Structure 1
Amino acid sequence: MELFIASIRLVVASILICVVGYATVIWGVGQVINPEAAAGSLITRPDGTVVGSRLIAQKFTQPKYFWPRPSAVDYNGAGAGGSNKSPTSTDLTDRAREIVAQYGATAENPLPPELAAASGGGLDPHISEEAALYQAPRIATARSLSQSQVETLVKDNAFAPGGFLTPGRLVNVLELNLALDQVGTAQ
């Protein structure tokens, strides 16, 4: 019986250390090192309304907005992940063709590949500056703005994340669309 009680104590101690203790330490470190990211990197309107997160893509389909990369999980944060379809999948090929047609891409004006293919996690909130500039004519037309106004907005919101994995400049689609809405209300 003593051995049984000792093993129960060991299980309870292990749970407290490995589950409660570890989670508390990691949460605390996150709060100290980067409190904004630990809180979800939320984006709010001036009135305090939360509109999204800098870390998770949102679906935009209206022509007046920049569109993010396609998502294999329809931008559902609970089911993040890729499609697991092979490059030879007809479903994947058909979806890519549909996206290329939606953008109106041609041989003379090819679609940046990232706009036709989902990211590995399906929730990437960023697109390249090039992919955003590709969408500028559509947005300028939809909002009755000049293309140069939209391009300037893209360039003003682009940033260089650094590191060897992302050599170009990126834009956060949600932040760019919110900035675009501000341009629309300023006129």
Structure 2
Amino acid sequence: MLKQFRPAIAMLGLMTLVTGVAYPLAVTGVAQLTFPEQANGNLVRDAQGEVRGSALLAQNFEGDQWFQPRPSAAAFATVASGASNLAPSNPALAERIAKDVQRLVGEGVAPVPLQLVTTSGSGLDPHLSPAAARWQIARVAAARGIPANNLERLVEQHTERPLVGPAVVNVLALNLALALADNRAPIRHENTP
């Protein structure tokens, strides 16, 4: 019986080393050499070099002076990311969207872009359409006391046009540029230490 266990245990140990140690180290090494920015999470830094977040994750910004991302069904928590799992026919979803539309109509012009009242599949999508970002310009300009055309230029400068798919604006990058352009203190939001 020991003859049968010895090769099985040896193979288990070998495969554990190969698939659990050697392969992950090799993949990590190749990623660090070829795509270091992506391998480290696409971290976004402010003018002082402090990490303010990831370009891949939405964050909740407090206050009218900031562009707001899409709502998050997971309260912007990366551990519990995901959609609300409410069907389009669910009255709770319709009620939440109607409440959000009412709130947003009070601070902007109608119609409210759909992205500002619906969550993404992950609940952490960092991008908005340029139209959804532009829709917020009046509120942000009023809160900061700066001309709306300055914000329009900023949104245009931060509009990404991928090879495939629609144009998008990364809200974190836009807000960092806004803080820098407006000479305000570095961004502080609930996900920043």
Same fold (TM over 0.5): yes
CA contact (8 A) 1:42 1:50 kept: yes
Residue in 2 that maps onto 1:175: 173
Compute the displacement of 1:125 (Å): 0.9
Compute the displacement of 1:182 (Å): 1.7
In structure 1, distance between residues paired with 2:102 and 2:134: 18
Residue in 2 that maps onto 1:124: 125
Note the alpha carbon deviations across 1:15-35, whole angstroms, 9 max, x for none: 222222232222122212210
TM-score with structure 1 setting the length: 0.90
Within 5 Å, give how 1:125-164 maps onto structure 2. 125-163=126-164
Number of residue pairs matched by the alignment = 182
Compute the displacement of 1:44 (Å): 1.6
Compute the displacement of 1:84 (Å): 1.4
AA aligned to 1:170 is: V
Percent identity among equivalent residues? Answer: 36
CA contact (8 A) 2:47 2:180 kept: no
Within 5 Å, give how 1:104-119 maps onto structure 2. 104=105, 109-119=110-120
In structure 2, distance between residues paired with 1:154 and 1:135: 10
SS where residue 132 of structure 1 aligns?
Answer: helix
Compute the displacement of 1:39 (Å): 1.1
In structure 2, distance between residues paired with 1:27 and 1:95: 42
In structure 1, distance between residues paired with 2:75 and 2:45: 23
Structure 1 residue runs of 4 or more that deviate by more than 2 Å after TM superposition: 45-48
Residue in 1 that maps onto 2:22: 21
AA aligned to 1:48 is: G
User: What is the CA RMSD across the aligned residues, in angstroms?
Assistant: 1.8
- Alignment of 1:96 with 2:94, yes or no, is no
Within 5 Å, give how 1:14-93 maps onto structure 2. 14-93=15-94
Compute the displacement of 1:52 (Å): 0.9
AA aligned to 2:36 is: P
SS where residue 169 of structure 2 aligns?
Answer: strand
AA aligned to 2:131 is: E
Residue in 1 that maps onto 2:188: none
CA contact (8 A) 1:105 1:111 kept: no
CA contact (8 A) 2:55 2:126 kept: yes
SS where residue 182 of structure 2 aligns?
Answer: helix
In structure 2, distance between residues paired with 1:39 and 1:67: 25
The higher-RCO structure (CA 8 Å, 6+ apart) is 2
Larger CA deviation: 61-70 vs 26-35: 26-35
TM-score with structure 2 setting the length: 0.87
In structure 1, distance between residues paired with 2:163 and 2:122: 20
